[in-house]
């Protein structure tokens, strides 16, 4: 996004920051899943979803929503921060910025102005696994936005001067969102430490010293290899019919030549053998805290029920004042003023499960870290109660119902899922899988949070004396 959402989550506060920071190639074959338990709550009725594939390999999904004459048009490229060539971290995000600079038909900077002049809005965002571009506009303008998006898929044009200027914009974004924010720096360092070999250890925005070397040739080489219909996923949600979307897609995207170059294979992560730790000291820190991230399976790695159990475990441990961490450490012994847990199930490869605690006045980081471990061990031993499980499932069920009212959220759900290698059926069935998870499965998921597959960070305030020393 200009600026990219995934590049600056720290502005949302600690809980929101962790939720965003934690966020193509076919996924590995999935293990045979056991027969699901009866759902505790009937899943919310899903929208009408259909799909087609153009002759050049472009995949498309249509999500019908006829309540208002509005459409969300998205194009997802399942290549993101983790698909950077060696020494070119941040290239996907850099190119995202340059994609708004013009084509042979659209002058520099005119893309968003045209969308706005037609009553719409547009933007883009980059994550570890994808880069996506979207417009939200009146349904009768779908032809316009599809023509414009197809135009910049293969005909992007910008000068070296524009490339250098935009590189400076990205560097300033990194300064504001990461380099000047100890919370973001800790999260970045923790990710680099958790992944020893997999490119999830790269920040989506890129390392500063590598961003400084990016240029027009780098961006165009990445663009020409990956930005093509056979590497793209079209998602259209709103007041449309599948027939009309396919007709327009055939007109605008159909003539584009495929690249024939799928994303490069990613290196595998070696077995975890020892816990990793770091302490980050900074004079700008106002409130120290402890942050731990465990390496665990994601939906993209193939075990849907394990991913669902981890999702519920994150709610048991750290979602709100009724969670185990909050009850034990905020309401109980008063050792912490804030606690939480977050799990991002949607990554293509192994993902992170994060827990954190902000100590109360006079309480040390070692004490709150021990408190997190103590509560986690209780869940490993006994699992959640049926009351906890029922409450969490009701909350998730309500969220699923509300999500059906958010056209753009639905489009993102399907786009991100397909970019992670999930099928349409797996995306649609996810709410029902969550409802079917048992307390025993949640307890078993807690045993996946093992010290040897973890990275722990302490954020502390650096005093003037320490800085001078």
Would you call 233 helix, strand, or coil by DSSP? strand
- Strands of 59-64's sheet, edge to edge? 48-53, 59-64, 233-238, 70-77, 131-138, 121-126
Residues constituting the chain:
469
| Cα-Cα-Cα-Cα dihedral sign, residues 257, 258, 260, 261 | positive
DSSP state string for 301-337: GT-HHHHHHHHHHHHHHHSSTTSHHIIIIITTS--EE
- Of 37, 96, 369, 429, which is the active-site residue? 96
**Structure-block tokens of residue 243:** 């027939």
Which two three-digit tokens encode residue 287? 């409130």
d(CA 447, CA 379): 9
What is each CA distance from 95 to 88, 223, 259, 421, in whole angstroms? 12, 7, 17, 23
| 206 contact partners, CB below 8 Å, separation of at least 6 | 81, 84, 88, 89, 90, 91, 93, 94, 170, 174, 214
Residue among 164, 136, 183, 124 at smallest CA distance from 4: 124
Q: Parallel, antiparallel, or unpaired: how do β-strands 276-282 and 233-238 relate?
A: unpaired
CA distance 300 to 298: 5
Q: What angle do CA 77, 82, 87 make, to 5 degrees?
A: 115
Locus of tokens 């471990």? 373
108 is catalytic: no
C-alpha torsion 428→432→433→436, nearest 10: -170
Among all residues, which ones are annotated catalytic? 96
């Amino acid at each position: 996004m200009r600026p990219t959402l995934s590049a600056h989550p720290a502005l949302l506060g600690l809980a929101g920051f962790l939720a965003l920071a934690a966020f193509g190639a076919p996924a590995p074959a999935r293990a045979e899943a056991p027969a699901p338990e009866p759902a505790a709550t009937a899943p919310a009725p899903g929208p009408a979803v259909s799909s087609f594939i153009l002759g050049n390999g472009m995949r498309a999904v249509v999500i019908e929503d006829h309540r208002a004459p509005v459409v969300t048009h998205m194009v997802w490229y399942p290549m993101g921060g983790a698909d950077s060539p060696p020494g070119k971290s941040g290239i996907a995000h850099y190119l995202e910025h340059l994609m708004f600079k013009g084509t042979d038909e659209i002058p520099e900077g005119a893309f968003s102005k045209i969308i706005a002049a037609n009553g719409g809005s547009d933007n883009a965002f980059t994550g570890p696994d994808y880069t996506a571009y979207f417009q939200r506009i009146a349904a009768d303008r779908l032809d316009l936005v599809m023509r414009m998006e197809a135009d910049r898929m293969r005909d992007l044009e910008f000068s070296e001067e524009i490339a250098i200027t935009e590189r400076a914009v990205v560097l300033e974004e990194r300064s504001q969102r990461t380099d000047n924010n100890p919370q973001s720096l800790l999260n970045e360092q923790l990710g680099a430490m958790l992944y020893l070999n997999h490119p999830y250890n790269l920040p989506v925005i890129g390392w500063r010293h590598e961003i400084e070397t990016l240029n027009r040739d780098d961006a165009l080489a990445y663009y020409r290899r990956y930005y093509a219909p056979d590497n793209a996923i079209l998602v259209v949600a709103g007041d449309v019919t599948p027939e009309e979307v396919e007709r327009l897609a055939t007109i605008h995207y159909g003539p584009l030549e495929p690249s024939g170059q799928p994303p490069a294979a990613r290196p595998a992560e070696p077995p975890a053998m020892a816990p990793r730790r770091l302490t980050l000291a900074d004079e700008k820190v106002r409130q120290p805290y402890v942050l731990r991230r465990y390496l665990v399976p994601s939906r993209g790695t193939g075990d849907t029920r394990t991913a669902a159990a981890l999702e519920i475990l994150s709610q048991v441990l750290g979602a709100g004042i009724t969670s185990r961490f909050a009850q034990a450490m905020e309401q109980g012994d008063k050792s912490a003023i804030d606690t939480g847990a977050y799990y991002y199930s949607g990554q293509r490869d192994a993902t992170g499960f994060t827990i954190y605690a902000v100590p109360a006045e006079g309480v040390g980081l070692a004490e709150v870290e021990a408190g997190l471990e103590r509560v986690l061990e209780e869940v490993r031993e006994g699992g959640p109660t049926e009351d906890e499980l029922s409450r969490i499932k009701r909350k998730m069920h309500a969220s699923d119902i509300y999500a059906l009212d958010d056209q753009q959220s639905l489009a993102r759900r399907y786009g991100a899922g397909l970019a992670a290698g999930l099928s349409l059926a797996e995306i649609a069935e996810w709410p029902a899988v969550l409802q079917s998870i048992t307390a025993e499965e949640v307890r078993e998921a807690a045993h996946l949070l093992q010290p040897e597959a973890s990275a722990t960070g302490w954020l502390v305030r650096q005093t003037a004396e320490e800085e001078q020393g």
